[in-house]
Amino acid sequence: MAKKIAAHRELISEERKVRSTWARRLTWERMAPVLLVLPSAIAIAIFVYGFIGFTGFASLTRWNKLLPDFTLVGLSNYLVLFAHPRFQIDVRNSVVFTALFLTGCVGIGFLLAVLLDQRVKGENIFRSIYLFPMAISFIVTGVVWRWLLNPGSLEMGSTGVNLLFDRVGLGFLKWGWFTDPTVLHIRPDNGLGIFLQGIGLGALTTDKFGIPVAIISLVIAATWQMSGYVMAMYLAGLHGIPEELREAARVDGASEWQILWHVLWPLLRPITLGAVIILGHISLKIYDLVVAMTGPGIGFSTDVPAYFMWETTFHSNRFAQGASIATIMLIMVAILIIPYLVYSTRREVEA
C-alpha cells in the first residue's frame, strides 16, 4: 500500500515537473492571445459592465439635479417611477408595440419567404426590394412615414395615405393615424367589464390595459423597415431544407399547406426564435423612430420608455430617475437575451 502511494506521489511530482517546464516554455505563447483580446475585454468590462453598474448605483441615489448627489435613497426612484402615470403608459405602449411589431414582422417575413421560395421569377429583385429598408436609418424612416401617415385636416382635405385611399375609392379606411388619441380597452359597463370588476380585476377595464391606436402608425413604419430582415432569415432557412424532405411528404400524400405547417414551420422554429429575440430587443429599445415620427403623442399615446428616459435625464437633469428607467429597460432586455445567449453558446459547444 505504502509503496503504491509512494509510486503515485512520484508520478505526480514527475507530472508537475513536466507541466512547469511546459508552462515556462509556453508563457509567451499562452499570454499572446490573452494580450491580443485584452484591450477589447477591458473596454467592454468598463464601458458595458462598469457603466451598467454605475447606472444601477445612480438609480439608488438622490441625484435628481444637475450636480451629482450620491446620497443613497434605496429604491425610492423606482417607487416613484412605478407610480408615475407616464411610465405606466410607456410600459403599456412598449408591450403593445412589441406584440404588434413581432406579429407583423414574423407574419410578413414568413409569408414573403415562403412565396419567394416557390421558384419565383425575379426572386433577387423582389428580395432586394423587401430588404432595402434595413439599410436606412430609423430617422429617415420616421421622417418619410410621418408625412405618409399625416392624416391632413377636415378643412384642408386629406394628405398622405388618406389621400391615396380617397383617390382609389377606399375613403372609408381614412383615419387619424398617429394623431388619434383613442385607447381601445374593455369597457367597464359591458358584460365582460362588469365580470372583471366583480372578480377584483377592475384595473383591466381601464385604459392602462388598452391598445393606443396611434401606436399602429409606429408599428407600420417599423414593420416596413424590419420585416425584410425576417424574410431574409427565413429564406436562408428554407434554402437549407433539402428538397427530398418535401418530396417525401408529397409522396406520403401531404398537401402543400400540410407541408408548410407540419414540415417547414416546425423545422424553421430556431429561426423564428432568433427573429423574435432580435426584433424583441429592438422594439424594447425603440427610440429614434419615435423621435423622428411622432414624439410622445397626444396623452403619451406613442411614448416609449427610451423617450421618457432621455427626456428625464438630459432635459430635466433628473439623472437618478433616468437611471432607474434605464435599469428597468436593461432588465427587460436581459430577460429576453441572456437565456438565448446561454442556449446558443451551449448548443455551439455541444456541436
Partner 1 sequence: MTTAERALPRVARVRWSRVLIYAILIAFAAFYLMPVYILLITGMKSFAEVSLYRMWSLPSGVHFDSFTKAWFGSVEEGFRGLSLNFMNSVYITIPATIISAILGSMNGYVLSKWRFRGSDMLFPALLFGMFIPYQSILIPLVQSLSKIGLYGTIPGLIFVHIVYGIPITTLIFRNYYATVPTELVEAAKIDGANIFSIYRWVMFPLSMPGFVVVLIWQFTSIWNDFLFAVTIAQNPAIQPITVGLNNLAGSYIVQWNVQMAGALIAALPTLLVYIFLGRFFMRGLLAGALKG
Residues 142-171 that bind partner 1 (CB under 8 A): 143-148, 150, 152, 156-160, 163-164, 167
CB of 11 to partner 1, least distance (A): 24
Beta-bridge partner residues of 152: 158
Listed in sequence order, the residues at least 6 apart from 292 whose beta carbon sits closer than 8 Å to its beta carbon are 138, 139, 140, 141, 142, 143, 146
CB neighbour burial string for 83-93, b if at least 16 within 10 angstroms, e if fewer = eeebbbbbbbb
**Contact between 197 and partner 1 per CB under 8 A:** no
Q: What is the rounded CA–CA span in Å between residue 132 and residue 130?
A: 6
- 3-class SS shares of the chain: helix, strand, coil, % to 5: 75, 5, 20
Name which of 96 and 230 has its Cβ closer to partner 1.
Answer: 230
Name which of 163 and 196 has its Cβ closer to partner 1.
Answer: 163
Smallest CA-to-CA distance from 202 within 212, 191, 188 is with 188
Given 29, 244, 252, 350, the residue binding partner 1 (CB under 8 A): 29
Residue list 277-316, contact with partner 1 (CB under 8 A):
278, 281, 284-285, 287-288, 291-292, 306, 309-310, 313-314
Residue list 233-272, contact with partner 1 (CB under 8 A):
233, 236-237, 270-271
**Contact between 131 and partner 1 per CB under 8 A:** yes
Asked if residue 108 lies in contact with residue 220, where contact means CB atoms within 8 angstroms, the answer is no
**Contact between 47 and partner 1 per CB under 8 A:** yes
CB of 174 to partner 1, least distance (A): 14
Grid cell of 98 as nine digits: 412589441
**Which of 12-20, 24-32, 84-92, 190-198 is the region at the interface with partner 1 (rule: CB under 8 A)?**
24-32
Name which of 80 and 131 has its Cβ closer to partner 1.
Answer: 131
Grid cell of 324 as nine digits: 432607474
**Contact between 325 and partner 1 per CB under 8 A:** yes
Smallest CA-to-CA distance from 284 within 137, 141, 90 is with 90
How many residues bind partner 1 (CB under 8 A)? The answer is 102
**Which of 4-12, 84-92, 113-121, 201-209 is the region at the interface with partner 1 (rule: CB under 8 A)?**
113-121
DSSP sequence for 131-193: HGGGGS-HHHHHHHHHHHT--EETTTEE-HHHHHHHHTT-GGG---GGG---EE---TTSHHH
CB of 242 to partner 1, least distance (A): 17
Given 170, 203, 245, 338, the residue binding partner 1 (CB under 8 A): 338
**Contact between 52 and partner 1 per CB under 8 A:** yes
Query: By rule CB under 8 A, what string of x and - marks binding of each residue 73-102 to partner 1?
Result: ------------------------------
Name which of 58 and 183 has its Cβ closer to partner 1.
Answer: 58
Q: What is the rounded CA–CA span in Å between residue 87 and residue 328?
A: 11
**Angle made by CA atoms 257, 262, 265, in degrees to the nearest 5:** 90
Given 64, 101, 133, 217, the residue binding partner 1 (CB under 8 A): 133
CB of 144 to partner 1, least distance (A): 4
Cα dihedral 88, 90, 91, 92 in deg (nearest 10) = 90
**Contact between 335 and partner 1 per CB under 8 A:** no
**Local structure of residue 67 (DSSP, 8 states):** S
**Contact between 118 and partner 1 per CB under 8 A:** yes
Q: What is the rounded CA–CA span in Å between residue 109 and residue 155?
A: 39
CB of 15 to partner 1, least distance (A): 18
Given 30, 65, 187, 262, the residue binding partner 1 (CB under 8 A): 30
The three-class DSSP label of residue 268 is: coil
**Which of 108-116, 169-177, 184-192, 247-255 is the region at the interface with partner 1 (rule: CB under 8 A)?**
108-116
